[in-house]
Amino acid sequence: MEISTLFIGLRLALGLFELNSAFALNFCWDGVKQSAGCVVRADGFITDASSVKCELLGTARPPAFSVDGDYVIGGVFSIHYNTQTVKHNYTARPEPLQCTGRLVRGRILKISRVMVFAIEEINKSTKLLPGIRLGYQIHDSCASVTVAVHALSNGLDPVFYTGANCSKSSTVMAVVGESGSTPSISISHVIGPFNIPQVSHSATCACLSDKRQYPSFFRTIPSDQFQAVALAKLVKHFGWTWIGAVRSDSDYGNNGMASFLDAAQKEGICVEYSESFYRTHPRSRIQRVADVIRRFLHLLTVLVFPPSGDMGILLEELSREPSPPRQWIGSEGWITHPDMLRFTFCAGAIGFAIQKSVIPGLRDFLLDLSPTKVAASPVLTEFWEDAFNCRLEQSTKKVCNGSEDIRKVCNGSEDIQKLQSPYTDTSQVRSDNMVYKAIYAIAHAIHNAVNLQFMKGNILFFCTIFVLFSQMLTQLKKVNFSQNGYHVSFDANGDPVATYELVNWQKSESGSIVLVTVGYYDASLPLGQELHINRNLTWAEGSTQVPVSVCTDSCPQGTHKVLQEGKSICCYDCVPCPVGEISNATDSSDCFPCPKEFWPNANKDTCFPKLVEFLSFDEVLGIILAAFSVGGACLAIITASVFFRHRTSPIVRANNSELSFLLLFSLTLCFLCSLTFIGAPSEWSCMLRHTAFGITFVLCISCVLCKTIVVLMAFKATLPGSNVMKWFGPPQQRMTVVSFTFIQVLICTIWLVVSPPFPMKNLTTYKERIILECALGSAVGFWAVLGYIGLLAVFCFVLAVLARKLPDNFNEAKFITFSMLIFCAVWITFIPAYVSSPGKFTVAVEIFAILASSFGLILCIFAPKCFIILFKPEKNTKKHVMNKTDLSRCNATENHGLYIPYALVLKLVITELPDCCSG
């Protein structure tokens, strides 16, 4: 046992020496004192107990409430609000700090009494820690970090006691408190190195979740990290994108606001200003913060993140001078505090609060105070005298501001049941339940640790108490139970599951402010489902409409935000989306383009399928072109009918009737092929339209070319006995037409085999509509077809020009010249028009070129002849074909053995007529 004692003493001495705390320097066990008889000195050496007197370093502050037990739970609460200012003269040891200000904070006094209630309830339990009695030591920190640390250092009875003069006490297993984050941080730094668990009921700073700095810190209230996210989601839920922010210049306010600003930025919320203050700052600083809140007239929403004490000072300052109505958003540190409800100009405030709870038997316990019980406790005595404005006989006369306490003596008629104060109010049990759960969490950890030691067979008190103490942190991390329907457990950071109530300050019929629960927030729910609002809210000035707090009104759909230079990101202009883009949400930061085959509507908030455009038979242009196409084909057929009916007439026979009928047939096909260009393109129509056009036009030009060659050769063969025409008779003419046409067929075949035309959706010509058209496939093939047609046309035109001055009565070459001139002019102008025409007009230009050139051919070549056949039949004779001048010239030259061209032509072309010179 001496070896174990030595080991423990060395371990504690090293840690306690580092801390230099009287709390650590005086650790002892009564069992060690009796058995080992040794003490641990401040320098780390072990000496005999009889040679050292156990003395606490510093002046101990007595606890507000204390009871001995097998295991003691420490508590630190801010029962008073201020401390007395002490002037040090450096000649005597300073007296401990005294609490001043309001006599007793009833709300915190109630919390400390809840701790007593919970411990007594556990001591009566037969299931939790049976046979073990818990004790407590509850200290008043006076809302001061210094006093809180001093209470831990010299106030809490230590774990170990040394020397014969040490009074018997028990082990402090864990500490509950403090109420604020800043004192909790200081406490954690003091007891953390010794692995003494600290369970806070009200410290919410997110920084305390860092286990590297605060390894022994736990809490039953959610971290401000969760509250900050919840507040950001709340602000976003109501569409407030431009708010002000005020915080307490403390760990609670600074860390909480930092977490909120980070969450707000992710939600797209702008904070125009972020001001800080602290209750100890000069009034000028508080006034400046109040003036900032008043100055922004259009900034209606203000989020405030201080504890209740700081908030009260700010609201006091704001109440001195009326300010525009504000929509207050509060943190849990002040939104449910009863003292804040007196500021009626904050009506409509909303915020998150710790869940209300019901603790059975608590009210009866709190009200179970008699003058005798009160007199036994200085704190309860102070509370009683302050509540009933009297003094107990047992209490000494107090001096206040140099005058004696002249209040009447309490006569025993005071009835706490009728007292209206925060102490007796159990309708809003919130932080109280956090203390209640903290005590039960520590009790469960002790229970599990004790059971574990008994299972291991550690029955010696010395071994059990030491190992139990070392197991407290581990067991506290594992607690998982439910008490009064509320679940208690801790995550890896020592935090509980974050659940809040959404509360709203609403005016009652009497005009007072009451807290109304209007929803809840549960961080354990899936993303986007955490916040639920189940009741109507009342807003600033009693309005039922959600206030608007934005720098710029929401940008409607079809527009996007463009930031105003030099202002926050929530101040912007609404600019319409560019062409082809939409925004289908309000306040869109950017527009996005529609899919390729879609186009925005007029409002630019929805994408619709693009209009599909092609030259159809249903539109006016298509109907007109189709009508001309069919009309041209009918005209060619009628002309062929006229020629066929008068096929024996001289003028028909003189114009090479076989080539004429073939030419009319090819013109009919040319007119009809333009119909393939109208309608929705398909694979077969795309291949047919270009190849049919190319082949029929070559057939047509080939016929005209042969007619031109026949006329030219006939009139040029003037020498007697010349038989040149026998080499270009009908068989040769047919072969020429077939040869020229076959070349075009070959070109089209190669085109169709290698890279044929195909239907495609043209998405580039027009952004707002789709053009259905035929892609050329191979541009070389297309221009080869057109080039070949152009080559034949130019060749035919040149030959026709050469024959244009032949005698008029038979000068078909003159009409061919005009027709080819029209043909070439049309197709020369077609090329730039085809290239530059957009969409369906490209097809219309191509059809127009086909029709124009076809009409040019049929009108120039066949119209004069049909006119003579139908309306001037007297000219359709051999005599008129060969006029008198020609006959005289025939007779004059016959004696010279010469054949004139006319006679030759008539002999070759009009084979059934006799020679001109035969009488």
Pick 208 or 56 by higher pLDDT.
Answer: 208
pLDDT at 50 over 70: no
Residue whose entry in the numeric block shows the structure tokens 């006995």? 721
Residue whose entry in the numeric block shows the structure tokens 């007297």? 874
For residues 235 and 333, is the Cβ–Cβ distance under 8 A? no
pLDDT winner (highest mean) among 385-394, 466-475, 754-763: 754-763
- CA quadruple 491, 449, 361, 334: dihedral positive or negative? negative
For residues 305 and 257, is the Cβ–Cβ distance under 8 A? yes
Which pLDDT tens digit goes with each residue over 296-321?
Answer: 877 889 999 998 889 999 999 999 98
Residue 289: which of 275, 301, 279, 278 has the closest Cα? 275
Q: How much is the average pLDDT of 606-621?
A: 88
Please give the helix or strand (H or E) that residue 467 lies within, else none: helix 461-478
pLDDT at 401 over 70: no
Going by their DSSP bridges, the two strands 559-563 and 572-576 should be labelled as: antiparallel
pLDDT at residue 386, as a whole number: 85
pLDDT winner (highest mean) among 166-180, 221-235, 297-311, 771-785: 221-235
140 vs 63: CA distance, rounded Å: 7
Task: Report residue 264's pLDDT band, with 50, 70 and 90 as the boundaries.
Answer: very high
pLDDT at 478 over 50: yes
The DSSP annotation for 423-463 comes to TT--TT-SHHHHHHHHHHHHHHHHHHHHHHHHHHT--SHHH
Q: How much is the average pLDDT of 141-146?
A: 80
pLDDT at residue 415, as a whole number: 85
Residue 171: which of 58, 50, 49, 8 has the closest Cα? 8
460 vs 439: CA distance, rounded Å: 26
Which pLDDT tens digit goes with each residue over 687-746?
Answer: 888 888 889 888 888 888 887 777 766 665 554 555 555 566 677 778 888 888 899 899
Neighbouring residues of 291: CB distance < 8 A, sequence distance ≥ 6: none
Alpha helices by DSSP H, listed for 211-352, are 224-237, 251-266, 283-295, 308-320
pLDDT at 476 over 90: yes
Pick 345 or 57 by higher pLDDT.
Answer: 345
pLDDT at residue 277, as a whole number: 94
pLDDT at residue 160, as a whole number: 36
Picking from 57-71, 104-118, 629-643, which range would have the lowest pLDDT averaged per residue? 57-71
pLDDT at 373 over 50: yes
Going by their DSSP bridges, the two strands 171-176 and 301-305 should be labelled as: unpaired
pLDDT at residue 917, as a whole number: 33
pLDDT at residue 7, as a whole number: 33
pLDDT at 437 over 70: yes
Task: Report residue 9's pLDDT band, with 50, 70 and 90 as the boundaries.
Answer: very low
pLDDT at 196 over 80: yes
pLDDT at residue 6, as a whole number: 33
For residues 110 and 422, is the Cβ–Cβ distance under 8 A? yes
Picking from 2-6, 151-155, 347-351, 822-826, which range would have the lowest pLDDT averaged per residue? 2-6
The 10 Å CB-count burial string (b at 16+, else e) for 349-388 is bbbbbbebbebeebbebbeebebeebbeeebbbbbbbbbb
Which pLDDT tens digit goes with each residue over 854-913?
Answer: 888 888 888 888 888 888 777 777 666 555 444 444 443 333 333 333 334 444 444 333
pLDDT at residue 48, as a whole number: 47
pLDDT at 224 over 80: yes
Which pLDDT tens digit goes with each residue over 36-49?
Answer: 344 444 343 344 44
pLDDT at residue 441, as a whole number: 95
Phi and psi angles of residue 913, each rounded to the nearest 5 degrees, phi first: -95, 150
Structure tokens at 206: 């997110």
Predicted structure pTM score: 0.61
75 vs 421: CA distance, rounded Å: 23
pLDDT at residue 797, as a whole number: 80
Angle among Cα 489, 490, 491 to the nearest 5 degrees reads 130
Q: How much is the average pLDDT of 909-918?
A: 36
591 vs 557: CA distance, rounded Å: 10
pLDDT at 74 over 50: yes
Residue whose entry in the numeric block shows the structure tokens 């509370």? 383
Pick 61 or 47 by higher pLDDT.
Answer: 61
pLDDT at 21 over 70: no
pLDDT at residue 883, as a whole number: 53
pLDDT at residue 33, as a whole number: 36
Picking from 439-443, 467-471, 696-700, 734-738, which range would have the lowest pLDDT averaged per residue? 467-471
Picking from 483-497, 629-643, 718-732, 823-837, which range would have the lowest pLDDT averaged per residue? 718-732
Q: How much is the average pLDDT of 254-267?
A: 92
Pick 303 or 5 by higher pLDDT.
Answer: 303
pLDDT winner (highest mean) among 380-384, 440-444, 595-599: 440-444
Residue 705 identity: L
The overall average pLDDT reported for the chain is 79
pLDDT winner (highest mean) among 10-14, 227-231, 584-588, 610-614: 227-231
